Homo-oligomer: A and B are copies of this chain.
Amino acid sequence: MPGGRPRAFDPDTALDRALEVFWSQGYEGTAISDLTAAMGINRPSLYAAFGNKEDLFRKVLDRYIEGPGGFAARALDASRAREVAERMVYAAVELTSGTGTPRGCLSVRCVQACGPEAEPVRDEVAARRKAGEMALRARFERARDEGDLPADSDPADLARFVHAVTDGIAVQAASGAGREDLLRVAEIALRAWPSS
């Protein structure tokens, strides 16, 4: 089994470039030519290495969630529920208003605007978002069982609230709000957190 002509590009860095484009332009707003230009490869190389546009987007989504979007999973490791919430919203500010990365959030962007053709993509993103919210809810349920949250608080509602706040921050960031402004939004939102 001989190995043919070697690749002239690194797939991982190419995926990062594709991530940038999808992140800033969304799924439908991104053309294959945008991707090949940013990745520094040509069309057939893209299709051979990553499949079609939808396949590539799913790979990019994996990379996003494991990379920049990984703050959500790491926030669950905090010792107290309030700190989990703090990490979530502050990290959302960092992510969505970061320098060197596009404004806003890839998931929020791509779960929104979709013509009939991009519906499977939208459903995929929605499913991942749901999974993240469920993990957050499970974390808060554990906290309540441990007395880290009031007994009369609803973990599902708190998870959805935190999730909604991070979504709002992402929209505001994409809409032009600066980091300091978003930090104050996060701070105010945390005042709603139940005192244990």
Question: What is the interface of chain A, defined by CB distance below 8 A to chain B?
Answer: 25-31, 34, 104, 108-118, 126, 129-130, 154, 157-158, 160-161, 163-172, 174-177, 181, 184-185, 188-192
User: Which of B25, B111, B184, B191 is in CB contact (< 8 Å) with A171?
Assistant: B111
Copies of the polypeptide in the assembly: 2
Main secondary structure of the interface of A (DSSP, over half): helix
Asked if A115 contacts B175 (CB within 8 A), the reply is no
Of the A-B pairs whose beta carbons lie under 8 Å apart in the complex, a sample of 23, sorted by A's number, is A25-B113, A25-B114, A26-B28, A26-B114, A27-B113, A29-B114, A29-B115, A29-B116, A34-B116, A110-B113, A112-B171, A112-B174, A158-B188, A160-B177, A161-B185, A164-B169, A165-B189, A167-B167, A167-B171, A168-B168, A189-B189, A190-B192, A191-B192
- Greatest chain B CB density within 10 A among A168, A172, A188 is at A168
When distances are taken between beta carbons in the complex, the residues of chain B under 8 Å from A167 are 167-168, 171-172, 175
User: Which of B113, B157, B161, B185 is in CB contact (< 8 Å) with A164?
Assistant: B185
Asked if A176 contacts B113 (CB within 8 A), the reply is no
Docked pose: A126 CA to B103 CA in angstroms:
13
